[in-house]
Amino acid sequence: MSIADIERVRPERLRCRQLRMLAVVTNESGCRDATQVLLERAYRRWSGRPDCDHFPPVQRWQAIEPGYLDGAELLPGSLIGAAAAGHRPRIRDLSLGVQAALVLHSGCPAHVEETVLPGAGRGALAQGSRRGLFISVYGLPEDDMTLAESVLAGYAGLGALTVVERFSRWLPDKASHPTVSVPARAARTDPRAVA
């Protein structure tokens, strides 16, 4: 997909990779400190930039059909746009801070969700219940997911997070599930509406 001729991209024509990780927060204060440093650097990078709308990842993700990633596709444009406008929200929630750091540095949509991990197994999971983060980063073929992975590797290198599970996949093609309009369902012409 070329930046010059972006049009609304239908999900069934997309090739979107999902990187999914489960990480244990091994040093919460270190994780918060790293997040704050990453956010400050991102805010400085984007603050006052009038050209943020021309940043290729922002353009690519703004061209995606809304709802493709349940709203995550809007994050690059909204977070980078807010930072460019000088908004520096104080993010108290660790998962939202990590999510914002990933998006602002890589331009890739991300979703980070907290979870409590029971103490079991070896290594990072052995020491009683721990706070965990489910991390999903999404990328189109042109996106720099390596940069997003580098941000996460930085957390691990500082001893703030330990990645205990990681996998990557291409999201399924939605062509087998065609979009059906609401009027078609109401008129019962949608085969999924018939019981």
Q: What is the pLDDT of residues 87-110, one digit of tens each?
A: 988 888 999 999 999 999 999 999
118-142 average pLDDT score: 77
* 8 Å CB contact between 20 and 134: yes
Q: Could you give the CA distance from residue 117 to residue 171 in angstroms, rounded to a whole number?
A: 26
Determine, yes or no, domain membership for 11. no
Asked whether residue 185 is domain-assigned, the answer is no
Residue at 174 is within a domain? no
Pick the residue with more confidence: 124 or 8?
Answer: 124
Answer whether residue 26 is part of any domain: yes
pLDDT at 119: 65
What residue numbers bound the domain in which 31 lies?
17-167
CA 137 to each of CA 5, 113, 127: distance values in angstroms, whole numbers, following the listed order: 25, 12, 28
Q: Report angle CA 57, 63, 67 to the nearest 5 degrees.
A: 105
> Percent of the chain having pLDDT more than 70?
75
Identity (one letter) of the amino acid at 21? M
In a domain, 60, yes or no: yes
The pLDDT, as a whole number, for residue 66 is 86
**Tell me, what's the pLDDT at 22?**
96
Sign of CA dihedral 116, 107, 172, 193: positive
pLDDT at 42 > cutoff 80: yes
CB 59 within 8 A of CB 53: yes
Please give the pLDDT value at position 90.
84
pLDDT at 149 over 50: yes
Helices within 3-157 (DSSP H only): 28-46, 56-62, 75-84, 94-106, 145-157
Cα distance between residue 48 and residue 46, in whole Å: 6
- Has residue 53 been placed in a domain? yes
173 part of a folded domain: no
Q: Tell me: the pLDDT tens digits for 155-195?
A: 999 999 999 999 999 987 554 343 433 444 344 444 334 33
| Residue 148 belongs to some domain of the structure | yes
Q: How many domains are there within the chain? A: 1
Query: What is the reported pTM?
Result: 0.78
Sequence-ordered alpha helix ranges (H) in 63-138: 75-84, 94-106
Average pLDDT for 127-148: 89
